[in-house]
Amino acid sequence: MPRFPSLRPIAFSLMAMALGAAHAGTVTVVTSFPKELTDAYKKAFEAANPATKIEVLNKNTTASIAYIKELPAGQRPDVMWASAPDAFEVLARDKLLTAAPEVKNPHTPARIGNYPINDPQGLYYGQALAGYGIMWNTRYLAANKLPVPKEWSDLARPEYFGHVAISSPSRSGTTHLTVETMLQGEGWDKGWTQLLEIMGNCAAVTDRSFGVPDGVNSGQYGIGMVIDFFGLAGKYSGFPVEFAYPSVTAVVPANIGLVTGAKNADEAKKFIAFTLSKDGQQLLFDPKISRLPVLPYADLKVPAGYPDIQAVAKKAKVQFDSELSESRYQVVVSLFDQMVTFRLKELQAATKAIHEADKKIKAKAGGAANAQAAELLKQARGFAYAPLVGQDNVKNEQFLELFRKNRRDVAVSKQLTGQEELWANKAKSNYAKATELAGQAAALVK
């Protein structure tokens, strides 16, 4: 019978010849960390342990979790290594992490500030520290004649309109921590007002955390709200950027953990222990990596001018409360997306109108008309920058519970989408109202 030739025999022979299975003595590490970092650890570890090979699998945090979850025990990678603490929480909840207390380095302090460096349940371990702050492009600021910002509140000033960038907290665990830090540092209501004022000045809310430092490095954005090593690595790689910690910051660890059902648990533990050891920690000072070790600086050779994270943590105003953060995680990210990420254009328009009215009023102080204009402007700010969920609501267990329920339940999903729809509409109409009021205020000024 005449038939189409089949590719199958070819495919089979190719399969047979090209498949090099992972042999014994290989430790597979799933990580969201960049290649320079993983390459440095791979080289150093393999040099010290020639019998063991490190195979690095780089995936973003979401893909890493899906990958580990979908594989059967025994075929999973051995080590998970990433920044976002929530990723480890998810894995721990699904019983995909195994405790390995013997890997811990006794020199590692128990806490940084008020935050425990290792997971209290012992399922994952702090491997490097990170604080949050502001990075800026010096050429960009010079070209636009902008002063250097020092505190988060500076970023709300009119001169920074359209120059700031952040990534969305629902996408980036590190940004969520930044946002949560501000909310804990300033209090819920005041924190949101300040956050929304800054967001009104944002040029973009990026999808990836790395989108922000990348944009600042290349000069697309002037100022970014980022995790410290993004700013420091840019600076030490020669880009015209600087980084500083504002006083409202929190220092939290990036983590490493042993995956349950790993192929090669013994050697995996050796690798984890190496990353926590003195030699492993010293690698973090490489200019391309520029991360902050968990070991005290006294144990290590620290390059000159390197930020002293312990001092930053001591000075930091916020004692980060991870339980509070965890309990309202869904509310914060969902509210942020509905009020900022999906409504950025409207928020920008309102902020622009408010800045313009404010400028006019300040230029011509005094007079009854101006007093009225100032009142209108105050109302406009009230509409634009008030959080849609009040302080009391976010402490209400019933309200929080709704966001933790299973979204597959149609009724729950209906309630949730109803809530989100409410926020979305309210935000949109509030921003429109604020724009209108600010416009009226500007028109009143003679």
Other Cβ atoms within 10 Å of 128 Cβ, number: 26
- Give the CA distances from residue 260 to residues 93, 99, 162, 289, 416, in Å, rounded to whole numbers and listed in that order: 12, 9, 46, 29, 34
Say how many residues make up the chain. 446
In the numeric block, which tokens belong to residue 349?
């328009």
Instruction: Give the nearest distance from C-beta 234 to other proteins in angstroms.
Output: 5
Instruction: Give the nearest distance from C-beta 68 to other proteins in angstroms.
Output: 11
Nearer to other proteins, 109 or 147 (CB): 147
Other Cβ atoms within 10 Å of 306 Cβ, number: 14
Nearest to 181 by CA among 100, 256, 92, 249: 249
Where are the extended beta strands (E) located within 318-393? none
- The upper half-sphere exposure of residue 95, i.e. CA atoms within 13 Å in the direction of its Cβ, equals 3
Instruction: Give the nearest distance from C-beta 109 to other proteins in angstroms.
Output: 28
Nearer to other proteins, 219 or 382 (CB): 219
Nearer to other proteins, 374 or 412 (CB): 412
Can you tell me the distance from the alpha carbon of 384 to that of 439, in angstroms, rounded to the nearest whole number?
13
Instruction: Give the nearest distance from C-beta 64 to other proteins in angstroms.
Output: 10
Instruction: Give the nearest distance from C-beta 335 to other proteins in angstroms.
Output: 14
Nearer to other proteins, 55 or 279 (CB): 55
Instruction: Give the nearest distance from C-beta 73 to other proteins in angstroms.
Output: 11
Nearer to other proteins, 31 or 108 (CB): 31
Instruction: Give the nearest distance from C-beta 309 to other proteins in angstroms.
Output: 19
Supply the Cα-derived Rg of the chain in whole angstroms: 25
Other Cβ atoms within 10 Å of 157 Cβ, number: 15
Burial of 376 (0-12, 13-18, 19+ CB in 10 A): buried
Nearer to other proteins, 284 or 442 (CB): 284
Whether 212 and 225 have beta carbons less than 8 Å apart is answered as yes
In the numeric block, which tokens belong to residue 199?
């967001």
Nearer to other proteins, 127 or 338 (CB): 338
Nearer to other proteins, 74 or 305 (CB): 74
Whether 33 and 64 have beta carbons less than 8 Å apart is answered as no
Helix axes 35-48, 265-276, angle to 10 degrees: 110
Instruction: Give the nearest distance from C-beta 355 to other proteins in angstroms.
Output: 19
Instruction: Give the nearest distance from C-beta 155 to other proteins in angstroms.
Output: 18
Can you tell me the distance from the alpha carbon of 214 to that of 201, in angstroms, rounded to the nearest whole number?
19
Other Cβ atoms within 10 Å of 46 Cβ, number: 15
Nearer to other proteins, 97 or 441 (CB): 97
